[in-house]
Structure 1
Amino acid sequence: MLLRLRVSLPDRPGGLGQVAKSLGALGADILQVTVLEREAGRAVDDFTVSWPGPVTPAQVRERLSSMPGVRIEGVWPTRDVPGSAPDYDLLMHVVAEPSRGFATLVDALPGLCGAEWSVAVADGAVRHASLAAPPEFEPPEAPPRAISMEGKEHRLMLLPVLTAGLHVVVARAEGPVFHRAEVERAARIVDVVSKLAARA
């Protein structure tokens, strides 16, 4: 089972190794580590791990809670396969068919962002929706800049596309609120796709 773990730990030599050792002792195979931030003496890292057998996020959190100075900020299933380049694949698809740029973007963003679904909204109505998007969704108002927020049932990332008069909503039910590093990455991808789609 592939899981993503968001871990806050002391930013000191050996801190990351301590977490890796504890994960290994629990039987997890670490496939990827992404550093999201380092400030105020702490680091926030995302681990993508392969966990043997079925395990729930609550069980993983319980098993890891004994590490001193370490906080588990989120545990959630992921489809993001380490070593792949889905962002480049997305951009290649958009280059090949720029007229479908935003539909392609909406289909790809959940996989890129460790989320379940996404939609593109214009004038309060959903224009494009990924496969797992709910049939009914009341979109939040378009923000002036890319942000993350806690929704009623999901953690949301809102990505405005001012040149196209729409905004993209990305949602995940499990895991923490989208980190600012995730929001910035997604915003850059949206910006590139919007420029490519504008050429269609």
Structure 2
Amino acid sequence: MDVGVLSGNLAWTEGEEVIVLLRLRIALPDRPGSLGQVTRALGSAGADITQVTVLDRGDGRALDDFTVYWPDAAPRDELLRSLETMDGVAVEGVWTTREAPGTYPELEILKFLTTAGDRALATLIDSMPVLFSADWAAAATEKSPRSIVYSSWRAPAEVPFPDETPGRPAAVTLPSGVHMIVAPLPPLALGLTLARAEGPAFHRSEVHRLTRILEIFLMLPAVERGAGRVFRKATAKPL
């Protein structure tokens, strides 16, 4: 099996077949046997389940994220058809992911940040799409007109931002349908945006996870000094 990155997504080749990682967000009844029924249905459709993460449980319902290996050439509709006849089961989203199952990449990223110096902010932003199975991330000045300090690969030329940066990280969905987590970086006078055009809105557990990462990031001694220098360089550029 050969491992590589195809179109920005973690992918494998088995012979001539390309295997990609997909994530499915599935709501299901919170009762014995429901999870087994879902996993059997996905397996019958050809998905190889590698990880299940419980996001929510309550009021007789559960919300789980399933990470699966899936042939890139196979229509994703086959996954949906395998579940649509199951009573009480609803698929909230299917999207590609670059987050390898069973790993804790945020720990590695935080280790790199401690020695990143002036690259700390860029390293954080570049890592966010991978950590959260998103499309891109960017940081900009809090006040309008916003000045982009740094954006990750695949960020659009015109980065969309909500009108205001909230006082704490929050999930929002723009009128265009792009899902975001918008977070302030108060010591740097910046706002960070993490965006996902494919898949469901960000869950509150994802918002909480990002909040904790940013809290640790902003506590690192070199971060404010290094990011401050990058910020000054960016805002000093002529418009």
Q: Which residue of 1 aligns with 2:199?
A: 175
Q: Which residue of 2 aligns with 1:106?
A: 125
Summarize the alignment of residues 91-102 of structure 1 with structure 2, pairs less than 5 Å apart. Answer: 91-102=110-121
Separation of aligned partners in 2, 1:163 and 1:97: 18
Separation of aligned partners in 2, 1:97 and 1:106: 13
Q: Which residue of 1 aligns with 2:30?
A: 11
* Superposition TM-score, scaled by structure 1 size: 0.93
What's the CA shift for 1:59? 4.1
What secondary structure, in the 3-state scheme, does the structure 1 residue paired with 2:71 have? coil
1:135 to 129, 147, 157: 157
* Superposition TM-score, scaled by structure 2 size: 0.79
Separation of aligned partners in 2, 1:139 and 1:168: 9
Q: Which residue of 2 aligns with 1:79?
A: 98
Unmatched tracts of structure 2, length 5 or more: 1-19, 227-239
Higher mean C-alpha displacement, 186-195 vs 55-64: 55-64
Separation of aligned partners in 1, 2:25 and 2:212: 22
Q: Which residue of 1 aligns with 2:182?
A: 158
Unmatched tracts of structure 1, length 5 or more: none
* One-letter amino acid matched to 1:47: F
How many residue pairs align between the two structures?
Answer: 200
* One-letter amino acid matched to 1:177: A
Rg larger in 1 or in 2?
2
* One-letter amino acid matched to 2:149: R
1:41 to 60, 82, 85: 60
Work out the percentage of aligned pairs sharing the same amino acid. 44
What's the CA shift for 1:62? 3.1
CA separation of 1:56 and 1:186: change in aligned 2, threshold 3 A: farther
Q: Which residue of 2 aligns with 1:192?
A: 216
Separation of aligned partners in 1, 2:208 and 2:118: 24
**1:174-195 alpha-carbon deviations (Å, 9 max, x no partner):** 1110000011101111111111
1:147 to 170, 188, 205: 170
1:119 to 105, 121, 138: 138
Separation of aligned partners in 2, 1:58 and 1:125: 41
Separation of aligned partners in 2, 1:27 and 1:153: 30
Higher mean C-alpha displacement, 177-186 vs 140-149: 140-149
**1:109-129 alpha-carbon deviations (Å, 9 max, x no partner):** 000011010001113221110
What's the CA shift for 1:41? 1.0
What's the CA shift for 1:90? 0.8
Which structure ranks higher in relative contact order (CA pairs < 8 Å, sequence separation ≥ 6)? 1
